[in-house]
């Protein structure tokens, strides 16, 4: 699908606002947004580790730091 929006002419702020509008619209009909098969597998693995007591949890600050470090 070709976009009629001049994305290359938009400011970062405009792009972020557009993304928020898109997410809000998609959230109105979540049943129409397919979840990739690998999501189910990951959730099952995490549930298994939680049940077994082997899951490791981080507080939100640590989680954000881990994410930042992993994308550097």
Structure tokens at 24: 């809000």
Q: How do residues 30-68 score in pLDDT, each as one tens digit?
A: 999 999 999 999 999 999 999 999 999 999 999 999 999
All structural domains of the chain with their residue ranges: 36-72
Please state which of the ranges 13-17, 23-27, 44-48, 68-72 shows the lowest mean pLDDT.
68-72
Distance CA 2, CA 53 (A): 48
Give the residue-averaged pLDDT of 11-26.
95
Question: pTM to 2 decimals?
Answer: 0.51
Tracing tokens 């809000």 back to the chain, one arrives at 24
> What is the reported pLDDT for 1?
64
């Amino acid at each position: 699908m070709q976009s009629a929006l001049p994305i290359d002419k938009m400011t970062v702020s405009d792009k972020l606002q557009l993304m928020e509008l898109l997410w809000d619209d998609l959230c109105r009909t979540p049943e129409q947004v397919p979840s990739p098969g690998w999501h189910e597998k990951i959730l099952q693995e995490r549930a298994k580790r939680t049940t077994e007591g082997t899951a490791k949890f981080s507080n939100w600050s640590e989680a954000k730091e881990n994410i930042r470090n992993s994308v550097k």
